Amino acid sequence: MSILKNAVDFIINCRCVLLRYNPIRHECGLLTIGNPSPDSPVFVSGNYFHSVKRLIAALRGINCYLLVADSAGINVWCASGVCDFNEHKIADVVNATGLHAKVYHRKLILPQLSAAGVNLKTLEKECGFTGVFGPADFNDIKSYVNKGYCADEDMRAVRFSFADRFYNAFGMSAVFFLPVMALKLILPKKYGREIHFLLLMNFINIFGNFMLYEKLPFKYPANNSLLIGAFIQAAIISYSLVKYFFMTPLKFTLFLFYGASAFIINFLVSIDMLGSTPFYKTTIAHWLKTFNNKSLFQPLILTEACTSCLRCTQVCPKNLFSETNGRIVIDYRRECCECLACVKQCPSRAIVNKNGALFKDDIKSIENIEEIMKQKNDA
């Protein structure tokens, strides 16, 4: 039975990786890992199936509870920014599973990357549990536990490792692979070679973007994506010119199709880069106007309202904030990715943008957003 279950899990995991834009939801509820007692820690997760499975593997060896709350089947970082993962959903699962009766303490360890979407005060009001933020990456959970449930600077930083980038590239390739293969079924057989060429170009495009983005010359990842696109366009044009030197109208159309599809795919990859939280965020209009996809939230400043409560230092995934002699300082050499976790968690509304620029338009999780915008515009 367990062999069958493992085989099913394996197939579902492959499906999650290949079609990550159409994620599978894990059931919500309370899971036990090992043999938890009433003193055992309670970790919280969203219900993106792939993450829950990886988190269970990372927690193996720790006797604990894992509370899975609804995040619309997507990862907590993305879900938190658009209100799909929040304090109400966590409180609902706490109350529905009767967690109060299972543990003596009243503490939940939340994923750090949910900080942009979870209001800790409301969470406590709705279910009686206080939330603390754990490490950014669940692979650091064991070190976090071994260090007395304390996340150091390294654990708070978001890393976009080679393996993570490969996983993303693989998932995105599948998005284009399936329609192109469908095209292969529709077109006459003699176009098989062209279809394979198109697929190869797409793979180079997508893997090039994700694997090389730090190595390419432009500062902003979205511009690097266009650079790779330009190389691919050049390759397609050279190939087409050699192959279709004396073009018939049909072949000329094919030539145009190649160029247009490569451009569209490349543009889509570039746009995805704008929204990819490990990079920076901006609006498409801003990027196209300036060729700069730096966070619109930079440069940020602290107002007099700051009470040095340290909350921002615990949730910023880029470690922009630190404390020196009782005061909070911002490291302007580090790039903000506009997750707005600091704004969401600051109890004094002390973090504002110096230029009064708009936030990226998909941030929905900040309460009193109009008030903050006004504060920014007045600053």
Residues making contact with ligand SF4 (CB under 6 A) = 297, 300, 302, 306-312, 315-318, 320, 328, 336-342, 346, 348, 350-351
Enumerate residues 6+ apart whose C-beta is below 8 A from 370.
Answer: none
Enumerate residues 6+ apart whose C-beta is below 8 A from 102.
Answer: 30, 38, 65
Cα separation, 335 vs 297, whole angstroms: 10
Q: State the minimum distance, in angstroms, from the CB of residue 335 to ligand SF4.
A: 8
Q: State the minimum distance, in angstroms, from the CB of residue 245 to ligand SF4.
A: 52
Cα separation, 79 vs 29, whole angstroms: 18
Q: 268 vs 358, which CB is nearer to ligand SF4?
A: 358
What are the distances in angstroms from CA 181 to CA 184, 186, 187, 256, 301? 5, 9, 10, 19, 50
Q: State the minimum distance, in angstroms, from the CB of residue 342 to ligand SF4.
A: 3
Q: Considering Cα of 241, then 218, then 204, then 295, what sign does the dihedral take? A: negative
Please name the residue that has the structure tokens 């899971």. 31
Q: State the minimum distance, in angstroms, from the CB of residue 349 to ligand SF4.
A: 8
Q: Tell which residue, 45, 40, 39, has the closest CA to residue 63.
A: 40
What are the distances in angstroms from CA 256 to CA 175, 240, 315, 348? 22, 9, 48, 56
Q: 67 vs 320, which CB is nearer to ligand SF4?
A: 320
Q: State the minimum distance, in angstroms, from the CB of residue 363 to ligand SF4.
A: 9
Q: 46 vs 278, which CB is nearer to ligand SF4?
A: 278
Helix 162-186 and helix 249-275, axial crossing angle in degrees, nearest 10: 150
Cα separation, 163 vs 363, whole angstroms: 27
Cα separation, 13 vs 28, whole angstroms: 18
The burial class, CB within 10 Å (0-12 / 13-18 / 19+), for 125 is exposed
Q: 205 vs 313, which CB is nearer to ligand SF4?
A: 313
Q: 151 vs 316, which CB is nearer to ligand SF4?
A: 316
Q: State the minimum distance, in angstroms, from the CB of residue 44 to ligand SF4.
A: 19
Q: 42 vs 366, which CB is nearer to ligand SF4?
A: 366
For residues 337 and 317, is the Cβ–Cβ distance under 8 A? Answer: yes
Q: State the minimum distance, in angstroms, from the CB of residue 240 to ligand SF4.
A: 43
For residues 17 and 24, is the Cβ–Cβ distance under 8 A? Answer: no
Q: State the minimum distance, in angstroms, from the CB of residue 333 to ligand SF4.
A: 13
Q: 91 vs 302, which CB is nearer to ligand SF4?
A: 302
Q: 9 vs 362, which CB is nearer to ligand SF4?
A: 362
What is 338-357 written as a DSSP string?
---HHHHH-TT--EEETT-P
Cα separation, 344 vs 359, whole angstroms: 13
Q: State the minimum distance, in angstroms, from the CB of residue 323 to ligand SF4.
A: 8
Q: 139 vs 314, which CB is nearer to ligand SF4?
A: 314
